[in-house]
Structure 1
Amino acid sequence: MSVQPKVGPTARMTADEFLVWAEGQPGRYELVDGEVFAMSPERVRHAETKLATYQALGASIRTANLPCRVLPDGVTVRIDASASFEPDALVYCGERLDPNATAVPEPVIIVEVLSPRTKHVDTGAKLLGYFRLPSLRHYLILDTERRTVIHHRRSTGDLIETRIATAGDLILDPPGLTVAVADLFAEP
């Protein structure tokens, strides 16, 4: 049985309805508390930072020889029945996902690059939502203007530790990656 989405992006949707609806739409969207939000066009600095991040994470995975994969934006992370986000990059480990999948069920690392319009969502609803996923170990928020990484890391129990880094290396363990902060950003 297939899930039929409600009519139009103004109707409230479940995550299942949203994934079916979004696949056939031009542009990019996210689902927050059952409401569909269009994603704005990106600035070049934002796009270049996403590319640099994708490349840095991929290189780190290859260096560490881990059974993990990095994906750029375009795939969805389902938070619950009423929220699905599209991060700027993510890492998952284990078996390769079905090439036709549109969602990643167990991300280990999620990256969001701040933009003026979505800053409050990335540091609020997404921070809370992503850490509801048991698989998530690291949430990196990249501030391109300050060339700063806000690294939220799951610790013991329900504790989330935060580190703000402008230089040096980020230790992303698990899964066992080391990434230089400078490598996450496009050249100035």
Structure 2
Amino acid sequence: MNAPLPSVSMTVPEFLAWSERQPETDRYELVDGRILPMSPERARHNLVKLAVAVALLDSIKRAGVSAMVFTDGMGIAVGETTVREPDASVQLGDGIDLETKLLPAPLIVVEVVSPSSEHDDVATKLLDYFKVESVRHYLIVLPMKCAVIHHRRNDQGTIDTRIVREGDIVLDPPGLTVAVASLLGPAAAAKEIH
């Protein structure tokens, strides 16, 4: 991220074309037309993201559901001028263009909270992700608080919210069950020791 970021407002297609010319090690989101660099992460955050992806993949296999789990790096277009990059996401089916940078119909999105991202994850991204018609579940993993906030769009289109500290979270659709402890990664292991 050595070069200055463009100051001009961009659309999603313009952002994707610009991002193609950037080093693969640099990561960005587009928010309301502005390019925002993504900060390097700590080991805990990375390990929790891995735990989330593995837990979702294991749940999909157990349920026999045809779905794909994606880690960060895959974008979700929110309207014409925003591209979010969740820490993990799930899309139904197994036929996706392997060259795409955007998920066409994510069903589940997950953000792992870090101290610098908590406000954005809990407030702004909640509003953004539920603008995407296909999103039914938004999980906010709070490893330092050993909790997961589960926002679910119900069949009437309203959002139900619950805070879960133990047990399972049911993600229906598509019919998955995920243990809270498996989503917390090293935070859950540390909790068990104490």
TM-score range, shorter chain: over 0.9
Alpha-carbon distance in 2 for matches of 1:9, 1:49: 32
Identity within the alignment, %: 48
Secondary structure at 1:145 match in 2: helix
Alpha-carbon distance in 2 for matches of 1:41, 1:9: 20
Q: Point out the more displaced range, 89-98 or 145-154.
A: 89-98
Match of 1:154 in 2: 153
Kindly report the root-mean-square deviation, in angstroms, between the aligned alpha carbons of the 2 structures: 1.3
Q: Displacement, 1:171?
A: 0.1
Q: TM-score, normalised to structure 2's length?
A: 0.90
Q: Displacement, 1:158?
A: 3.1
Q: Displacement, 1:100?
A: 0.6
The aligned runs of 1:103-142 (5 Å cut-off) are 103-142=102-141
Asked if the contact 2:5–2:35 (Cα under 8 Å) also holds between the matched residues in 1, the reply is: no
Q: TM-score, normalised to structure 1's length?
A: 0.93
Q: Point out the more displaced range, 18-27 or 90-99.
A: 18-27
Q: Point out the more displaced range, 16-25 or 107-116.
A: 16-25
Q: Displacement, 1:131?
A: 0.5
Of residues 15, 18, 38, the one that matches 2:15 is 18
Q: Displacement, 1:95?
A: 3.9
Structure 1's unaligned 5+ residue stretches are 1-6
Structure 2's unaligned 5+ residue stretches are none
Q: Displacement, 1:8?
A: 4.0
Instruction: Establish whether residue 143 from structure 1 lines up as the match of residue 142 from structure 2.
Output: yes
1:64-111 deviation digits (Å, cap 9, x = unpaired): 111101011111000110111000000000242111111101000000
Instruction: Establish whether residue 184 from structure 1 lines up as the match of residue 183 from structure 2.
Output: yes
Higher helix share: 2
Secondary structure at 1:132 match in 2: coil
